[in-house]
Amino acid sequence: MLIDVVFAICIVYGFYMGYKNEPMNKIFRLFPFLAGLLTGIYLGPIIYDKVAGMWGSDGVLLFLITFIFCCFIGWSFSKYLADMFTTAAKKANIKKPEKMLNGITLSFLFAILFSGLIAFFNKAEIISSKTKDTSISLTVLESLPIKVKESFSRLQPGFKKFYQKSNEVIDHKKSED
């Protein structure tokens, strides 16, 4: 029960800090660019292969153009989604949707940090068995850091494919010269 109470306090405090201070505003301004970059990294090699196959030519410039085009598509789409969210929230009479989103995001980050601490304390056997038995959220808190790590590891194949395709295009260009 003690873990659950501290977890609830952590979540509420994270929401309060996010809503009041809005520390995530700068990050949310960077989100469309990050989404565009990830779209470019994942879709760039695929679109490049299709365009190069259709036109019968390939090269560094074509790869760069398809990458920039995919980045622009991802950026545009994420800006569109953000505008849709803001408009829908204002229609639902949510006064400051950006503040709500800041609060939710910061409370989620606090939950991830807290779950990492709980997993560490549990492995170090600092948490007593009585506290473990009375906790409702311990199993979820222990699995959260593992799930976050797995989510980041799912991004790795896209980065590898982009790296391999960019090296392939550059090596092909060098062999032509």
CA dihedral over 139, 128, 4, 153, signed as positive or negative: negative
149 pLDDT more than 80: yes
**Cβ neighbourhood burial of 54 (10 Å; 0-12, 13-18, 19+):** exposed
Mean pLDDT for the stretch of residues 137-164:
84
Q: Are 113 and 104 within 8 A, CB to CB?
A: no
Q: Which residue has the higher pLDDT, 41 or 97?
A: 41
Mean pLDDT of the chain: 83
Q: Are 62 and 50 within 8 A, CB to CB?
A: no
The predicted pLDDT at position 73 comes to: 93
Which residues are within 8 A (CB) of 153 and not within 5 positions of it... i.e. 6 or more apart?
none
Mean pLDDT for the stretch of residues 13-36:
79
pLDDT, tens only, 152-170? 888 788 888 888 888 888 7
At residue 77 the predicted structure's pLDDT band, cuts being 50, 70 and 90, is very high
**Can you give the pTM of this predicted structure?**
0.64
